[in-house]
Structure 1
Amino acid sequence: MRTIVITGASSGVGLAAAKQLAAMGDQIVAVGRDPRRLGAAMAEIRKAATGPEPDEVRADFETLEDVRLVAEHVLSAYEKIDVLANNAGGMLGSYRVTPDGFEATAQSNHLAPFLLANLLRERLSGGRIIGTSSDAHRRARVDPDDFTGDPQAWSAWRAYGAAKGENILFAAEAARRWPDILSVSFHPGLVRTNFGADPATRLVYKIWPFLITAQKAGALLTWLATAPANELTTGAYYVGRKVTEPRQWVTDPELAARLWTSSAQAVNL
């Protein structure tokens, strides 16, 4: 039995993977933001479970204190964590600054999962970290010294793409810094979910004919969580079940190291 922490488990890819892994008998710790949606998701996960009672933690990753509370709960309840699936995140409809002082896309998609991974690091030894990234990184650039951005120049897609690039850089740098933990990122595909903050984007992600199901995307996360470690490549970016070269700028070890240092300073590690 594995202990698996899945953020963004209230819907979509995270919920699908949580149900699949619970059906395998794993201990699921589901993290979600909205109490109503998390409650509904937990009912589905419990119905699928064949092992221990699934656990839940409500947290809003636009508040770093919530991330620390998630870590406190997990550390108090579980002696070992086999998998941390940093799946929470998304795209915003407008520029917004969090109570912690960061642009909300950067915080919820990168800084919050970065902090959670670091807080759980010791319990993850011998386990793995899986980051849900996106090929949207190909249309943006990362500034490792700026997590607030310029509200006048802000774009939802650029902010989201930059954060997804940061997920790839994190996975590669974590593999270098933490060789006892398998660390990967992946593109789940264009998934039929309630993605996006604006109505037009949400509509596209509901009706576009070439989208894949959340179950299929969740199966990729499930595979990355359960495949033998020697069949996976630590630090890699996966599209489907294949290691794929991301855009060149997110393969730069110097950029990854700078991002790590600035992220650690930002979240007061």
Structure 2
Amino acid sequence: MPTYAIGDIQGCYDELMRLLESIDFSDEDQLWFAGDLVNRGPGSLETLRFVKGLGKRARTVLGNHDLHLLAVHHGTAAGKRKDTLTPILNASDRDELLHWLQHQPLLVDDQTLGYTMTHAGIPPLWSLKQAKQLARELEQVLRGPLAHEYFLHMYGNKPDRWRDKEHGWARLRLITNYFTRMRFIKPDGTLDFSANGGPETAPEGYHPWYELPRAKAIKRTIIFGHWAALGELTRPGLAGLDTGCVWGNRLTAMRLEDGALFSEPCPTYLNAT
């Protein structure tokens, strides 16, 4: 009964099905999804229905595109020109699907397997314990009566540096940005949102978040996606699995029991360019 972690699907449903066929995915296997199930690709509705239909056999975390879909659904954000979310918003099972999506976590941790998964990673200034606490803090808001108001305040690049005393919507926005938008970061925890290329494009004074020393070691391998320009990154303690399927590259899965990698080539979707 192997467990496979899969990078950003972004609505590339057909490629997901081919990838699962290539690994002989069976009814006994488990799947982890690193967030961004939806948007840019043509099969976001089918992807949501499939992952939801797996029930307890699937574990997924929320990515920035998933949260954007929820904000549009709540009427607190307008759709963007390159969005491919209309089939979901018009679906007869929309409310059921988006209720399920809104109740997915920001962080998944499995001590037995030795992995922790978030969409963009875990900033080096947080311990695993603190990251789990902050994920729960945001999850409680998403699953409660203040969710609509949260989406009203979700967007924005400020504050951009963690302080424990941060409070209110600014605190929740910053937690969201660390978990779902982080790429480059300063040693003091300041985030940059201007650069989304590979590690070599880091602005002056910034570094890929995973390159900085951690305040407290995380005794897990951190699975993340979000960074298509980074591509596949596997090293001790790290597994970056966003290999840019929607941009014409590959959709990648990693078998957690032994770290074996599998991939499926993808076409370039016009809406992503």
TM-score grouping bracket, smaller chain normalisation: 0.3 to 0.5
User: When the two structures are superposed, what TM-score results if normalisation uses the length of structure 1?
Assistant: 0.33
More helix by share: 1
